[in-house]
């Protein structure tokens, strides 16, 4: 196990020579390197598998907090607003991790062929986030995927096969049913996943719970209950977080003023936008953006 993790760290370090996120020639696979501990970072985690190879971090979702150490993996089954913090990293021993995008089609196909139990079509069993220790078979498959970067001509043919094996190993894990439920057509979890996709796509539009619940064939009461079970927040809280994180990105990358950014993501009241922004990020919009730029060495 330790040998697998050490080898994975060595390979990631080879392709991630400087701090930051590094895409690779394998679609959906990227590496991250960081040489110092970080402040809490608000991100929208895509449905993905994350494996820590070196260093450690925490990930928080609403009231839940998870510790990720070398050899552990995290799966987010839906788009989730997670607060990440690197808590162990240095220039000598940097934080190293990989992320592999989760393909719903692959999960559905694996799920069909591995005969899920009937009870998995009922209520969701937990959050849309899962943290587990890796297993040797899983790490072996991940290492084979990363090694394909050494033979680019093999990637197109072999990478999809190895990625399929990786997610098969995850689904066969101790809590694989928590992920499998999102691939069961007609399950509550699959309906919530669809609703989350709609909210992320139309985040600037008013959220009508009754209409969204009807679109995924649930009563408003059931929809609210299942949504909170998966995301740890209500649909309106989720939409607000998506709006505010999007506004923060717009402020940082497009140089908008606070009122324009708030309007762009769906706020009609600039004062309400500034108030809710400060409540989430700890500072008013423009002060927060200046702090971010200073921490990134941009200002």
Among the candidates 140, 158, 180, a domain finishes at 180
Q: Is the CB of residue 49 less than 8 Å from the CB of residue 73? A: yes
Domain that residue 51 falls in? 2-102+128-180
Task: Specify the pLDDT at position 299.
Answer: 43
Residues 162 and 259 in one domain: no
Packing angle between helix 235-254 and helix 285-295, nearest 10 degrees?
60
Residues 40 and 175 in one domain: yes
Q: CA of 201: how far to CAs of 112, 129, 198, 251, 264, in Å? A: 28, 21, 5, 19, 14
CATH of the domain at 246: 1.10.10.60
Strand, coil or helix: 77: coil
Residues 27 and 135 in one domain: yes
* Phi, psi (rounded to 5 degrees) for 19: -65, 145
- Cβ atoms within 10 Å of 207's Cβ, excluding its own: 16
Residues 138 and 270 in one domain: no
Residues 244 and 175 in one domain: no
- 209-240 confidence digits (pLDDT tens): 999 999 999 999 999 999 999 999 999 999 99
Among the candidates 164, 180, 196, a domain finishes at 180
Residue 205 in domain: no
Residues 156 and 266 in one domain: no
Task: Specify the pLDDT at position 150.
Answer: 96
Residue 72 in domain: yes
CATH of the domain at 73: 2.60.120.10
* Number of domains, the chain: 2
Residue 280 in domain: yes
Predicted TM-score (pTM) of this structure? 0.86
- Cβ atoms within 10 Å of 203's Cβ, excluding its own: 20
Task: Specify the pLDDT at position 117.
Answer: 43
Task: Specify the pLDDT at position 147.
Answer: 97
Residue 90 in domain: yes
Residues 36 and 173 in one domain: yes
Q: 154 pLDDT band (50/70/90 cuts)?
A: very high
Task: Please give the structure tokens belonging to residue 99.
Answer: 């992320």
Bridge-partner residues for 133, per DSSP?
Answer: 72
Task: Specify the pLDDT at position 294.
Answer: 80
């Amino acid at each position: 196990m330790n040998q697998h993790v050490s080898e994975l760290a060595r390979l990631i370090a080879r392709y991630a020579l400087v701090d930051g996120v590094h895409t690779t020639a394998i679609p959906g696979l990227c590496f991250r390197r960081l040489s110092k501990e970080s402040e809490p970072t608000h991100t929208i985690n895509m449905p993905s598998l994350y494996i820590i190879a070196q260093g450690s971090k925490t990930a928080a979702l609403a009231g839940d907090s998870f510790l990720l150490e070398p050899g552990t993996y995290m799966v987010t089954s839906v788009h989730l607003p997670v607060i990440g913090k690197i808590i162990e990293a240095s220039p000598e021993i940097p934080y190293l991790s990989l992320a592999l995008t989760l393909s719903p089609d692959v999960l559905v196909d694996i799920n069909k062929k591995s005969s899920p139990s009937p009870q998995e079509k009922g209520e969701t069993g937990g959050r849309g986030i899962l943290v587990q220790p890796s297993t040797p078979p899983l790490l072996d498959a991940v290492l084979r995927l990363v090694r394909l970067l050494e033979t680019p001509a093999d990637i197109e043919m072999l990478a999809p096969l190895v990625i399929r094996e990786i997610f098969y190993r995850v689904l066969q894990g101790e809590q694989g049913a928590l992920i499998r439920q999102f691939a069961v057509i007609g399950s509550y979890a699959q309906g919530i996943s669809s609703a989350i996709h709609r909210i992320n796509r139309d985040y600037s539009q008013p959220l009508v719970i009754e209409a969204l619940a009807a679109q995924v064939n649930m009563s408003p009461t059931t929809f609210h209950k299942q949504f909170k079970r998966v995301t740890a927040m209500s649909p309106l809280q989720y939409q607000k977080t998506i709006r505010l994180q999007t506004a923060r990105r717009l402020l940082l990358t497009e140089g908008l003023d606070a009122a324009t950014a708030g309007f762009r993501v769906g706020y009609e009241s600039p004062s309400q936008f500034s108030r809710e922004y400060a409540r989430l990020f700890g500072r008013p919009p423009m002060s927060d953006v200046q702090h971010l730029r200073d921490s990134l060495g941009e200002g």
